[in-house]
Amino acid sequence: MNKIIWITGAGSGIGKALAMAYNENGNTIILSGRKKAQLEDVAGVLSNAYILPLDVVDEQAIAAAVAEVEAKFGKVDILINNAGVSQRALVTETSNEVGRQLMEVNFFGSIHLTKAVLPLMLKSGTGNIVGMSSVAGKFGFPLRSYYAASKHALHGFYEALGLELKDTDIHTSVVCPGRIKTNISKNALKGDGAAHAEMDPGQAKGVDVDVCAAKIKRGITRNKAEIYVGGMEILMIYFKRYTPWLFRFIAKRINPK
């Protein structure tokens, strides 16, 4: 059965790979992001795409976008809140303005779009809402203080929302990617807001983005509350949970890049 799937941050990286992964069975993929040219490139290789440029920090733009989707399609079956930005700066180097920017994009952007789409899902009685977190949403890590905080916040919000929706057929999932081979480190913000503009060595050796997208898609299909994708770094989630002392021992010795 064809579905309406809305993906933010769809112009590159995991968002683009997810669009490709869902390009089947007559699905309509709504592609959102700030760069229209990137969205057009992705749409060009999809069977049925709808381009909807959107800056998730703009609440009025979110309201207008949801109204457009409702008028055009009447529903959203899967919402994937993938838009986000990372950080590569010490706490002492990061301005408050940049910290707020990270929270606005990664946390408020995700939940504001979720809240705007939720009435459509409640009306149709079914749906999947996905928040894109990170392994840094499960534990803190150097050079990623505000990024980790924004991703930690997503877990609290989506867990609460999922429990509120327990008597419905609407499911929430939080995805925690580790090192995936994308440009996330290049686009990460330094303390002054400038782009990091460097590929982290660990990122360059990360999991292939198409493999990542396939695992995320499988987790969404299974309505998993949390979806972990990555390499050995995923073990740190379990170390933090079951042996915090071991987590701290290892974390202090890992190169943050």
Residues acting as catalytic residues: 147
Residue of 17, 60, 256, 255 lying closest to 143 (CA atoms): 256
Q: Are strands 28-31 and 4-7 parallel, antiparallel or unpaired?
A: parallel
For 139-184, the DSSP string reads S--TTBHHHHHHHHHHHHHHHHHHHHTTTSEEEEEEEEE-SBSSSH
Taking residue 205's Cβ as centre, other Cβ atoms within 10 Å add up to: 10
Task: Quote the tokens at residue 104.
Answer: 């606005």
What b/e string do you get for 161-198 counting C-beta neighbours within 10 Å, with b at 16 or more? bbeebeeeebbbbbbbbbbbbbebbebbbbbeeeebee
